[in-house]
């Protein structure tokens, strides 16, 4: 550390909300329910077909379709390949992770001869998101530098009052300095410039990320079957997630600077959240070959604990008076609690049963991401919630799947499309192509599913500064899911 004498209370001057913003709200509001291999191999379009544990988290009326008790669990393997595109340069990274997509039990009270055919119950766990990913973005930036964003952000602020997580680490490592007698800041790229001349950019920039974690829902479901015509179900969902991210942003190989060799900002972020929601759904079966229904999911109310810290490093070509070539500055570790209210979800479901030979399922989902809200006891999140209202819009998601029954064996396929939730120029595309095979006897069944998941979206180099290059990531996930179950 090159500069000392900072006031002790700097620890408390980190900008509350810097690491809690609209990006985090969206990340923790997305839900792609996994569940059983049978459901996943049909694109997740199982809401109206029922008799599958995945429906506890989509349309709980589907639990009412069960005619016997069932126990199942579903381990899976996720193979992630992320390609990053920036300034004509592509970089690829891989990550392998293992997880449980589903485990659960259904049982009930059944009367084949009565009007109330069944009162079924289910409890278990369905995974709804997987954050695991490695990525590496690299390229040449001819238009600016992170140091410029930090410099403009710091202007007019005394060094003792700089942001503990952004501008102060830069000042503490000589990446920022004040012009003599002023509170106007400069950075090494401007030291050799005169008048209004701008620096000659063209330095190499990179951002690497290592992300771990995921989200799942413990469900408690009850459902009725009234005369094989009307089904109604309700689920209490207890959701939890863990998100761990380490990103390293680096600039090096400066074109017009003999002093600065390179610098880096390392961010460590850990978020753990717990929440609760409720789901209500119904199904109608007007004829043996068709079922249709709808479901509503209340917003999930999350309590989230956020831990965030930054380390800045600068490396120089020439030593200072004490012989130092590099400097390091660590921010305090910010431990902060806040809440997130996710959007309500509305679903419509259609199922077609073609005798004992085939099933067709179609699910539609409406999610208005502009209704996400952040809050805390000591901060209003006014700007962040306004950004949510302006930047997001309703998304329309569509899923479809088919199952062909060939005796004890079934072949399945499906497709899912997830609409763009952004109201601005951010790119977002997500789709899934799915397939699988299943084997079933009277009391035992085994299902296999493969999901090819492709998601294209933008990321920020500088953690959300308004003027910066915006790389594009394409994450391809190959998911193998196996469900083993018993009927009794």
Residue 246 half-sphere exposure toward CB, CA atoms < 13 A:
3
Phi-psi region of 380 (alpha: psi -120 to 50; beta: other; left: phi over 0): alpha
CATH topology of domain 8-487: Porin (2.40.160)
Residues in CB range of 194: below 8 A, 6 or more apart: none
Note the pLDDT of residue 48.
Answer: 97
* pLDDT score recorded for residue 4: 42
Decide: 42 and 403 in contact? Cβ < 8 Å: yes
Residue 189 per-residue DSSP state: G
Question: SS3 of 409, please?
Answer: strand
Residue 281, token pair as written in the block: 């759904």
Return the ∠ at Cα 291 (arms to 401 and 356), rounded to 5°: 65
Segment (H or E) for 169: helix 167-172
> Which pLDDT score is estimated for 198?
77
- CA dist 397 and 419 (Å) reads 6
Distance CA 473, CA 475 (A): 6
Token duo for residue 374: 């952040």
Per-residue pLDDT, 196 = 64
Q: Give, for all 488 residues of the chain, the pLDDT tens digit.
A: 445 444 333 333 333 335 688 989 999 999 999 899 999 999 999 999 999 999 999 999 999 999 999 999 999 999 999 998 887 788 888 888 888 899 999 999 999 899 999 999 999 999 999 999 999 999 998 888 999 989 999 999 999 999 999 999 999 999 999 999 999 999 998 887 666 677 888 999 999 999 999 999 999 999 999 999 999 999 999 999 999 999 999 999 998 888 999 999 999 999 999 999 999 999 999 999 999 999 999 999 999 999 999 999 999 999 998 999 999 999 999 999 999 999 999 999 999 999 999 999 999 999 999 999 999 999 999 999 999 999 999 999 999 999 999 999 999 999 999 999 998 777 799 999 999 999 999 899 999 999 999 999 888 777 655 445 678 889 999 999 999 999 99
Structure tokens at 480: 């193998």
Find, among 363, 365, 460, the residue nearest to 421 by Cα.
Answer: 365
3-state DSSP: the chain helix, strand, coil percent, rounded to 5? Answer: 15, 55, 30
- Report which of 191, 175, 181, 174 is spatially closest to residue 158, judged by C-alpha positions: 181
The per-residue pLDDT for 16 is 38
3-state secondary structure of 244: strand
CA gyration radius, the chain: 27
- Contact predicate 409/396, CB 8 Å: no
One DSSP character per residue, 399-415 reads EEEEEEEETTEEEEEEE
Per residue in 63-108, pLDDT (tens digit) is 999 999 999 999 999 999 999 888 778 888 888 888 889 999 999 9
| Residue in the block written with tokens 């609209």 | 22
Please give the Cα distance from 327 to 173 (Å, whole number): 5
Q: How many CB atoms lie within 10 A of CB 311?
A: 16
Torsion angle in degrees (nearest 10) through CA of 406, 410, 413, 416:
140
Report d(CA 402, CA 437) in Å as an integer.
11
How much is the pLDDT for 15?
38
Q: Report whether 429 contacts 420 (CB < 8 A).
A: yes
Coil, strand or helix: which one is 202? coil
CA atoms within 13 A on the CB side of 161: 5
Backbone angles phi, psi at 299, to 5 degrees: -60, 145
- Spell 261-284 as b/e; 16+ CB within 10 A means b: bbbbbbbebbbebebebebbbbbe
pTM of the model: 0.91
Q: What is the rounded end-to-end Cα distance, in angstroms, of the chain? A: 67
Q: Give the contacts of 152 (CB within 8 A, at least 6 positions apart).
A: none
């Amino acid at each position: 550390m090159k500069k000392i004498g900072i006031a002790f209370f700097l620890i408390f001057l980190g900008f509350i909300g810097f690491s809690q913003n609209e990006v985090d709200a969206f990340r923790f509001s997305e839900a792609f329910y996994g569940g059983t291999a049978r459901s996943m191999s049909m694109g997740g379009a199982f809401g109206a077909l029922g008799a599958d544990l995945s429906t506890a988290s989509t349309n709980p009326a589907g639990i009412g379709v069960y005619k016997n008790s069932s126990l199942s669990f579903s381990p899976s393997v996720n193979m992630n390949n992320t390609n990053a595109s920036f300034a004509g340069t592509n970089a690829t990274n891989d990550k392998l992770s293992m997880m449980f997509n589903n485990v659960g039990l259904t049982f009930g009270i059944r009367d084949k001869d009565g009007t109330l055919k069944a009162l079924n119950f289910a409890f278990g766990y369905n995974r709804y998101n997987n954050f695991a990913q490695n990525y590496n973005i690299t390229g040449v930036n001819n238009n600016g530098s992170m140091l410029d964003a930090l410099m403009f952000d710091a202007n007019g602020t005394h060094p003792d009052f700089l942001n503990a997580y952004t501008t102060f680490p830069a000042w503490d490592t000589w990446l920022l300095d004040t012009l003599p007698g002023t509170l106007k800041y400069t950075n090494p790229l401007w030291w050799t410039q005169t008048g209004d001349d701008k620096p000659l950019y063209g330095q190499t920039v990179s951002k690497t990320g290592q992300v771990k974690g995921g989200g799942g829902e413990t469900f408690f479901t009850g459902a009725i079957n009234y005369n094989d015509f009307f089904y109604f179900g309700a689920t209490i969902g207890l959701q939890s997630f863990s998100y761990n991210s380490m990103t390293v942003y680096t600039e090096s190989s400066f074109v017009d600077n003999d002093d600065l060799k390179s610098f880096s900002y390392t961010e460590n972020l850990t978020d753990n959240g717990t929440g609760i929601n409720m789901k209500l759904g119904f199904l109608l079966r007007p004829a043996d070959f068709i079922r249709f229904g709808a479901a509503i999911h209340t917003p999930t109310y999350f309590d989230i604990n956020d831990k965030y810290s930054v380390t800045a490093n600068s490396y120089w070509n020439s030593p200072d008076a004490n012989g130092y070539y590099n400097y390091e500055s660590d921010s305090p570790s910010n431990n902060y609690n806040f809440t997130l209210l996710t959007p309500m979800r509305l679903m419509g479901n259609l199922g077609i049963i073609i005798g004992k030979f085939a099933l067709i399922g179609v699910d539609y989902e409406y999610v208005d991401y502009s209704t996400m809200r952040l809050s805390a006891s000591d901060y209003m999140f006014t700007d962040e919630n306004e950004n949510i209202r302006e930047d997001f819009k309703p998304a329309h998601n569509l899923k479809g799947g088919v199952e062909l029954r060939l005796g004890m064996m079934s072949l399945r396929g499906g497709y899912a499309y997830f609409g763009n939730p952004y109201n601005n120029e951010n790119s977002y595309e997500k789709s899934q192509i799915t397939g699988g095979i299943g084997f079933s006897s009277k009391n035992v069944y085994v299902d296999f599913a493969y999901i090819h998941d492709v998601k294209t979206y933008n990321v920020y180099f500088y953690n959300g500064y308004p003027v910066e290059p915006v790389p594009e990531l394409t994450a391809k996930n190959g998911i193998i899911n196996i469900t083993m179950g018993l009927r009794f």
